[in-house]
Amino acid sequence: MNTPKPSKLTQSPAWKALQAHQAEIAQVQMRELFARDPGRAREFSLEAGALLLDYSKQRVTGTTLALLADLARQADVEGWRTRMFAGEHINVSEDRAVLHVALRSAQKVFPAGGDVMPLVRKAKQDLRAFSDAVRRGRLLGHSGKPMRTVINIGIGGSDLGPRMLTQALWRHADAPQAVHFVANADPDDLARVLTQAEPETTLFIVASKTFTTVETLGNAHLARAWLVRALGSEQAVKQHFTAVTTNLAAAADFGIAGERCFPLWDWVGGRYSVWSSVGLPLAIAIGMERFEALLAGARAMDEHFLTAPLAANMPVLLALLGIWYANFFGAEAHAVLPYAEALRELPAYLQQLEMESNGKGVDRDGQAVDYATVPVVWGAPGTNSQHAFHQMLHQGTHLVPCDFLVPVASTGMAAENALAQGAALMAGKEVAQPQRRFDGNRPSSTIMFKHIDPHTMGQLLALYEHKVFVQGIIWNINSFDQWGVELGKEIARTLATQPAGGGAIPGLDASTNALLARLRDWRT
């Protein structure tokens, strides 16, 4: 691979100033910073809505934050922010607007994108009517019985968001229906869920913008066959299936009536779509009033992001701290550690949001970057994670900045454990025996909130969405396409369509051809 040419970013004054500053601060211990400044915890914390961000356990000073803010201004983060909220086509590779913020907006017109709000309001009305009908037992199946099980079939953004939020908000779920999610192309995923369902009382939601997603359609056809076999009628599909899609023709070919199809638009990316009709299973689980509270929470964070100055802007601060470690300390990973079992799916959701958005090696101008972009995002719920990989966080050779997510209402000492882990990572422990020594100086942020409720979750997810946006702007990459997802899928389709005994596939490497041959042998 050719060495990338020096970029405008790495040659810029703001970048060089940060490099020089990092050399000065690299060996400074955070415990010394706390010792010198009794007010550090207050100075390096921020509240926005229901969220408290404490970033005092970061390897930063006031000078660091000022220089990082200069980097954001140099990239014109504020200008790009205005362009996104105006509906300009900032998704340059696909020539699309980026308007997931419109899904939770009270604004009537997005100047550059036209008035999309009538579409949004109509979709919400339809979502409310359908979800209410399911919840109240008015939506009847082929044999006249109300639905008692809802199975969402999707993958990626059509699965991770509603799955995560349905789990997170389980205390707020009051529907008589059980809501399940199926994503994996392995038929076992669907088979396991179907053991908990009765055909006469099961509603399937097929979520695929194009209605061509291979994994989703594969599972949808298996579910269709199961239903038709059990109920003895192709007509049953119309009563038991609905879709979230733009491809009405393909949905109709499947057997789903047009009035059972909910819209998506090209200005909403998949990983930003939980606010849309993709949230239908969530709306069924928690009810539309609580779904509206989720949207209101996101809208509150949108307003904060739009109006707060850079130095007091929570998404901007998270973004800049991530850039500080990825680009100036060489950190290649970032851990998300929710100290609540209800948030166990959040790391997986954020993996897609961050790595699919900013996992790019080419900038908006088509040039290879000469700097790191998004680190590997990973994590698991505490306290489970303490007994799995925290050893590496404390004493390992890799620098892994952490986000601790701490709901105050959690019990069983979960919140106290989160605070303790942050303190231990920062301060370390000096003992004579090397194996028991903790060097400390491991950075973390703590995001604390009172409850896991719809409004708070809306704020939290919008916080990370805007963090991703800011980082993409500074890195000069397009956060809203995902071309890297496609190549493997294309090859998989080629492999799947080859007849048994068809021999080697021309143009395919010898290793994959050999593995394919062995796969065919073992299947016969």
How far apart, in whole angstroms, are the C-alpha atoms of residue 373 and residue 362?
10
Residue 311: burial class (beta carbons within 10 Å; 0-12, 13-18, 19+): middle
DSSP for 44-103, written as a single string = TEEEETTEEEE-TTSS--HHHHHHHHHHHHHTTHHHHHHHHHHT---BTTTTB---GGGG
Residue 431, both tokens = 């003992």
Spatial CB neighbours of 124, under 8 Å, sequence gap ≥ 6: none
Kindly report the backbone phi and psi dihedral angles of residue 241, in degrees, each rounded to the nearest multiple of 5, phi listed first: -125, 140
Sign, CA dihedral 366-110-470-484, equals negative
Residue 208, both tokens = 């695929």
DSSP 3-state of 241: strand
The single residue of 145, 221, 398, 489 carrying the catalytic annotation is 489
Nearest Cα to Cα of residue 435 among 389, 390, 394: 394
**Is 198 tagged catalytic?**
no
**Is 16 tagged catalytic?**
no
How many angstroms separate the Cα of 101 from the Cα of each of 109, 135, 329, 420, 463? 12, 27, 33, 36, 12
CB–CB of 172/290 below 8 Å? Answer: yes
The single residue of 5, 387, 486, 490 carrying the catalytic annotation is 387
How far apart, in whole angstroms, are the C-alpha atoms of residue 91 and residue 469?
11
Task: Characterize the bridge pairing of strands 333-338 and 402-407.
Answer: parallel
Sign, CA dihedral 285-286-291-292, equals positive
**Is 215 tagged catalytic?**
no
How many angstroms separate the Cα of 75 from the Cα of each of 10, 227, 368, 374, 476? 12, 54, 18, 17, 8
CB atoms inside a 10 Å sphere around CB 522: 7
The single residue of 356, 390, 455, 467 carrying the catalytic annotation is 356
Active centre residues (catalytic): 356, 387, 489
